[in-house]
Structure 1
Amino acid sequence: MSDKPSEDSSSTPEVPDDVWEQFTRASEREAPKEPSARARMVTERLRQQEARGETPESWRSGPPLQEKRRGRRVWTALGLLLALVVAVVALKPSLLPGDPFGSGTSDSAAGSPLPEETAAPTAPPSAAAPATPTLDDPFAGSPAKRWADGKAGILAPKAEAVGGRSKAEVAQALRLTRELLISSNLDPATLRGERPEAALNVLDPKQKDVLSGLKTALSEPDEKHDPLSMFTRFDPDEVRPVGDVVKVRGRMSFEAGEGAAVAVHADYTFVYPVVRADGSPEVTRTIVRRVLDVELSDPARYDITPGKLTVLRHDRDAGNSACGAHDGWFHPQFPSDAPTSAPPSGPTSDPYDRSTDIRQGQDCGTVSRV
């Protein structure tokens, strides 16, 4: 039987042979073909895995349209948020933690305490944001704002045996040095002019030139006998401290001295905020740096008092104290003061600079900041 329609049919128009053949071939190409044996096996395996919950639904189709739209909304929101953050940071970089752009104005740099000083710094501290000290914030505008408070700033290194002296003897030398610094520069009684008995008590009485000189300076101060060479003192009739915090920055080290001695080196700067004793709220600061070299010597070799310090060096440099005064007191200068003493004669210096050796006899120099 032929696939071609009967020529006798009067109801169907005649179709040319070449057209009929083209139609037949096209139908064969478009007709669904039976899957191959491999395709049937893969399909069956995927259906079985899906039934066991082992195959994600996405093997049949992509994510639902709703899920796609939700994902696009999330990414759009994140993009807008990121753009907002970038804009805010561009306007105020200090909002970022730390100081990634080296601006020196980050919250961390402005308020966090400095780490302990373990070696001589290589430069003066950077300038703080300009600010006027007040009764509520006496260290405003000062790099000392980030320094340690009082005794917490005087830390002795870990003791170790050195130069034939035991670890315990080294620890004793460090403890006595710390006591001397605290009593001489932080004790409120010493600061208001009382006799610094605790400091005098750690010094060797057999070192008569030092001890007798200090006692004379305390009782009868003059140009040659200056108690300020070892002790910090402010005349309570002139000024009074603001609060009970003195800012401290420095370091202490030790090494073997001559003759089996323990030699201790200390270098500290103290910042004292004060106001006038008459009740004026104007605040100023005096900055005092001290360098101290002492030894705890071997009593078997030297005529010394066991457990007492021998002083080898005690130097100081003061920033913001009146020139030419030899009465045993520091005299802070206030911004509103009219000149009442000799004008500064020394070079301008930064009293906060700990990167160079202490200056000698430069109290009458001009300070770049207080």
Structure 2
Amino acid sequence: MDDLDARFQELVSQIGEDEQRRMREAAAKAARRAAPPSSRRPSSRARRWALAVVLVLAVLVAAASVLAFRPELLTPEPAVRRTQPAPTSTPEPPAPADPFEGSPATGYASGAAGFVLPAPKAVGGLSAKEVGRGLARVRDLLTAAYLDPATLMGGEPKAFTALADPGQRKKITRSWVNSFAPGTTELATDVIKVRGEATLSRLREGARVKVSYLVVYAVQSPGRPDQVVRLVTRPRGSFAIYVSEGEVRVWVERLGADATPVRCDVSGGYIHPRFPGSAPGRVSGTGAPRDPYDLHQPVSDGCTATTGT
């Protein structure tokens, strides 16, 4: 019934205002003619009845005229016209998969938590508390060298310099930190995986901390999330902890890292990752392929081949 009422109202809406006015005038005339001869003036009830009859007839006539030109009004509306239009906006792409999945780095710690250091103990004339302060500074230096976003993106290693011993600040080189060549690389995720070990030994006056870690980045070519690769670096080095003028200080004895997969035909202290589809460069890795996740392999002197990351 609701559909019939709606269609009836649509038919009525097809009659213009002028036509409706003419219908009302015609209904009034018909009402006067329908009045009994003995009555000089028809009753109000008779006039209303006649007007209703004329209007119904007029509507039916108009409806017939409309249907002659628009027969689809009696055809059931297709179901498709009752549905909402499909959204035109592109759905959000699914979140990218874990870029470390399928590699040993999946189980590594995230960030500075991976820079595991020995428990503090008294050694080389230093108290356990002094050694503990020195170890905390070593962790801060490692974090600045391998996790600081500004340094990683090719900026000056300001975070590392601020933590270094004042006597070394003018000697710091790019080789002491990890920096991607500016404009070549983006981090695909803020998560950086770290695993490794460190040992504590005695110096004549102080303590030495030897470190060996794996720091794994998920990187991509700028604007190319389809080119994400895992880049494995292997920092190695040693730090001396000593006390000077009542202050615990840390001296970088040596520090550096190799990396893969990288271009072998560039230098300058920056890391140039090699992405899928990019030219390998004029120089390729040499020697028997090494496992980049093997923590105990010796540091390579040149650009060596690896089994993949």
Aligned length: 215
- Tell me how far apart the structure 2 counterparts of residues 237 and 202 of structure 1 sit (CA, whole Å): 27
Q: Does 1:177 align with 2:111?
A: no
Q: Does 1:138 align with 2:138?
A: no
| Residue identity matched to 2:193 | K
Alpha carbons of 1:291 and 1:339: their partners in 2 closer, same or farther (altered >3 Å)?
closer
Which of residues 298, 304, 307 is equivalent to 1:365?
304
- Tell me how far apart the structure 1 counterparts of residues 281 and 241 of structure 2 sit (CA, whole Å): 44
- Tell me how far apart the structure 1 counterparts of residues 180 and 155 of structure 2 sit (CA, whole Å): 10
- Tell me how far apart the structure 2 counterparts of residues 243 and 342 of structure 1 sit (CA, whole Å): 29
For residues 279-335 of structure 1, give each alpha carbon's deviation from its aligned partner in whole angstroms, at most 9, with x where no partner exists: 3422112111011211122326xxxx9433212221322121110311332111123
| Residue identity matched to 2:261 | N
Q: Does 1:292 align with 2:237?
A: yes
User: In the alignment, is the contact (CA less than 8 A) between 1:285 and 1:332 conserved in 2?
Assistant: no
Q: Does 1:235 align with 2:181?
A: yes
| Residue identity matched to 1:183 | A
Q: Does 1:262 align with 2:207?
A: yes
1:272 is paired with a residue of what secondary structure?
Answer: strand
User: In the alignment, is the contact (CA less than 8 A) between 1:350 and 1:368 conserved in 2?
Assistant: yes
Task: Give the equivalent residue in structure 1 for 2:282.
Answer: 341
Q: Does 1:150 align with 2:90?
A: no
Q: Does 1:247 align with 2:193?
A: yes
How far has the Cα of 1:257 moved from its partner?
1.0
2:240 is paired with a residue of what secondary structure?
Answer: strand
Indicate the structure with greater strand content: 2
How far has the Cα of 1:253 moved from its partner?
2.4
Task: Give the equivalent residue in structure 1 for 2:273.
Answer: 332
TM-score normalised according to structure 1 size: 0.54
TM-score normalised according to structure 2 size: 0.64
User: In the alignment, is the contact (CA less than 8 A) between 2:153 and 2:185 conserved in 1?
Assistant: no
How far has the Cα of 1:360 moved from its partner?
3.2
- Tell me how far apart the structure 2 counterparts of residues 309 and 201 of structure 1 sit (CA, whole Å): 13
- Tell me how far apart the structure 2 counterparts of residues 196 and 236 of structure 1 sit (CA, whole Å): 13
- Tell me how far apart the structure 2 counterparts of residues 231 and 248 of structure 1 sit (CA, whole Å): 15
- Tell me how far apart the structure 1 counterparts of residues 127 and 98 of structure 2 sit (CA, whole Å): 45
How far has the Cα of 1:368 moved from its partner?
0.5
1:325 is paired with a residue of what secondary structure?
Answer: coil
- Tell me how far apart the structure 1 counterparts of residues 118 and 159 of structure 2 sit (CA, whole Å): 22
How far has the Cα of 1:250 moved from its partner?
0.4
For residues 157-201 of structure 1, give each alpha carbon's deviation from its aligned partner in whole angstroms, at most 9, with x where no partner exists: 321111221111100110010000000001111111222223222
1:21-40 alignment runs, 5 A limit: none
- Tell me how far apart the structure 2 counterparts of residues 152 and 282 of structure 1 sit (CA, whole Å): 28
User: In the alignment, is the contact (CA less than 8 A) between 1:135 and 1:283 conserved in 2?
Assistant: no
- Tell me how far apart the structure 2 counterparts of residues 161 and 213 of structure 1 sit (CA, whole Å): 30
| Residue identity matched to 1:369 | G
| Residue identity matched to 2:156 | R
Q: Does 1:274 align with 2:219?
A: yes
User: In the alignment, is the contact (CA less than 8 A) between 1:184 and 1:230 conserved in 2?
Assistant: yes
How far has the Cα of 1:346 moved from its partner?
4.0
Q: Which moved more, 1:312-321 or 1:185-194?
A: 312-321
- Tell me how far apart the structure 1 counterparts of residues 277 and 188 of structure 2 sit (CA, whole Å): 18
| Residue identity matched to 1:365 | T
Q: Which moved more, 1:150-159 or 1:169-178?
A: 150-159
Q: Does 1:323 align with 2:284?
A: no
Task: Give the equivalent residue in structure 2 for 1:36.
Answer: none
| Residue identity matched to 2:195 | R
- Tell me how far apart the structure 1 counterparts of residues 243 and 190 of structure 2 sit (CA, whole Å): 39
User: In the alignment, is the contact (CA less than 8 A) between 2:216 and 2:231 conserved in 1?
Assistant: yes
Task: Give the equivalent residue in structure 1 for 2:15.
Answer: none
| Residue identity matched to 2:116 | L
- Unaligned 5+ segments in structure 1 are 1-133, 218-226
User: In the alignment, is the contact (CA less than 8 A) between 1:252 and 1:266 conserved in 2?
Assistant: yes
How far has the Cα of 1:255 moved from its partner?
2.1
- Tell me how far apart the structure 1 counterparts of residues 285 and 125 of structure 2 sit (CA, whole Å): 48
Alpha carbons of 1:346 and 1:256: their partners in 2 closer, same or farther (altered >3 Å)?
same
Task: Give the equivalent residue in structure 1 for 2:9.
Answer: none
Runs of 4+ displaced beyond 3 Å: none
* RMSD after superposition: 2.1
Q: Which moved more, 1:287-296 or 1:346-355?
A: 346-355
Task: Give the equivalent residue in structure 2 for 1:310.
Answer: 251
Which of residues 171, 194, 200 is equivalent to 1:213?
171
Q: Which moved more, 1:185-194 or 1:343-352?
A: 343-352
User: In the alignment, is the contact (CA less than 8 A) between 2:208 and 2:240 conserved in 1?
Assistant: yes
Q: Which moved more, 1:319-328 or 1:245-254?
A: 319-328
| Residue identity matched to 1:330 | I
User: In the alignment, is the contact (CA less than 8 A) between 1:135 and 1:242 conserved in 2?
Assistant: no
Q: Does 1:201 align with 2:190?
A: no
